[in-house]
């Protein structure tokens, strides 16, 4: 039996009441809630909220799930909603979802509610819980991690878009026998949000970097070293910048903007792609805008990136470059990378050709000697 109230130190989960109408309407009409929760009526009015409280929420219980109001344990004020749906009894699994009102965000309410409901679900026979997030809803992805859910993959076109179309959903999963506490991350956040040596600064790539990244990645000399060697569309760069944090949280890659530390201007970009978590190996890539070249910034960038990567537990970095790209090869060698071989025809080239790649490797023990 699912109780009418689930108490925790941080939140209270209780049934919705008639006096929650105004708060439910305000929370569900909020633009952020509307953007990331599919299927919410727009506009979301007090009449809609009243229907949810009297019919929608009770129907969730009738269907084998549940729908709780999240309330402040001290005042009982409405903070949001959380529930279970898509229950598959023979698999002992369900999907957990939530929303948090604007006045309650930034306080860990969603994480606390998710932990509380997940704990009760596991204690009463549920074996597997899924939490699905929009690829750009990084706040919700952080909730999933904080509540012990692990990144499991991408469900392609699983979410409908209001007005037509579909979008992917990221699946986060927690099992009944998973360890308690937050899920371990392969790629933690940067200390103080950035890395710097006083000359260059690295920070996570973001939506404000689209113009600079599009200018960088459409330069002919940068395109020549892309895989494949074709210029990206602006839409592709926008998507990369918007989803950089999501890829970081999933442990897939760490995408950086490179800044001139003195001026704060974007000087280029670099990335660490965690291609082999099982062996602790990741790939490094980098490029600079023309006005930032010839000043040693690329070497400083790669050295900063490598130091951080080894500091968070990676064991080996590798990079590949075309044989004729002498500038890039010099950067790698200055940092301490060692040439490990030539892979013939490894990369796609122009006009259906294949091009060779010189492979370099770096171990944590190589860095001190390079410095």
Query: Cβ distance 354 to 347 under 8 Å?
Result: yes
The pLDDT assigned to 227 comes to 85
The pLDDT assigned to 92 comes to 96
The pLDDT assigned to 326 comes to 94
Residue 356: exposure state from Cβ atoms within 10 A (0-12, 13-18, ≥19) = middle
The pLDDT assigned to 12 comes to 97
Query: Which pLDDT tens digit goes with each residue over 11-24?
Result: 999 999 999 999 99
DSSP state for residue 162 in the 8-state scheme = T
The pLDDT assigned to 1 comes to 56
Whole-Å CA distances, 172 to 84, 136, 157, 160, 194: 14, 14, 16, 19, 27
Q: Tell me which residue of 170, 330, 173, 302 sits closest to 248, measured CA to CA.
A: 170
Q: Show the domains of the chain with their CATH numbers.
A: 6-175 (3.40.630.30), 191-366 (3.40.630.30)
Rounded CA separation 248/250 (Å): 5
Which residues of the chain are modeled with pLDDT < 70?
1, 368-371
Peptide linkage before 228 cis (omega within 30 of 0): yes
Phi, psi angle pair for 316, to nearest 5°: -155, 140
The pLDDT assigned to 206 comes to 97
The pLDDT assigned to 229 comes to 87
Residue 67: exposure state from Cβ atoms within 10 A (0-12, 13-18, ≥19) = buried
Rounded to two decimals, the pTM is 0.93
Q: The sheet that has 128-133: what strands, in order across it?
A: 5-7, 12-14, 66-71, 78-88, 93-100, 128-133, 166-175, 150-160
């Amino acid at each position: 039996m699912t109780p009418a109230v689930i108490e925790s130190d941080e939140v209270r989960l209780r049934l919705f009441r008639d006096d929650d109408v105004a708060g439910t309407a305000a929370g569900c009409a909020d633009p952020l809630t509307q953007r990331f929760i599919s299927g919410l009526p727009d506009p979301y009015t007090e009449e809609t909220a009243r229907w949810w409280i009297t019919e929608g929420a009770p129907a969730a219980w009738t269907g084998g799930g549940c729908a709780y109001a999240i309330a402040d344990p001290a005042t009982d004020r409405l903070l949001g909603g959380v529930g279970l749906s898509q229950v598959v009894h023979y698999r002992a699994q369900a999907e957990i979802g939530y929303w948090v009102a604007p006045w309650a965000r930034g306080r860990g309410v969603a994480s606390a509610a998710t932990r509380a409901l997940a704990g009760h679900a596991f204690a009463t026979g549920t074996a597997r819980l899924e939490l699905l997030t929009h690829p750009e809803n990084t706040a919700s992805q952080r909730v999933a991690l904080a509540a012990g859910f692990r990144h499991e993959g991408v469900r392609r076109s699983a979410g409908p878009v209001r007005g037509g179309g579909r979008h992917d959903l990221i699946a986060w999963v927690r099992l009944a026998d998973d360890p308690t506490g937050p899920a371990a991350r392969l790629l933690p956040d940067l200390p103080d949000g950035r890395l710097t040596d006083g000359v260059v600064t690295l920070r996570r790539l973001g939506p404000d970097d689209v113009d600079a990244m599009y200018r960088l990645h459409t330069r002919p000399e940068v395109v020549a070293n892309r895989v494949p060697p074709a210029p990206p569309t602006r839409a592709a760069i926008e998507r990369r910048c918007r989803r950089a944090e999501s890829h970081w949280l999933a442990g897939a890659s760490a995408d950086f903007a490179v800044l001139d530390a003195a001026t704060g201007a974007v000087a280029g970009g670099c990335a660490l792609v965690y291609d082999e978590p099982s062996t602790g190996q990741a790939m490094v890539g980098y490029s600079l805008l023309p006005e930032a070249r010839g000043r040693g910034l690329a070497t400083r960038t790669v050295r900063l990136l490598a130091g951080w990567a080894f500091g968070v537990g990676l064991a080996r970095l590798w990079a590949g470059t075309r044989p004729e790209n002498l500038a890039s090869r010099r950067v790698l060698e200055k940092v301490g990378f060692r040439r490990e071989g030539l892979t013939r025809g490894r990369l796609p080239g122009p006009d259906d050709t294949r091009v060779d790649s010189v492979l370099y490797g770096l171990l944590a023990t190589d860095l001190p000697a390079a410095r």
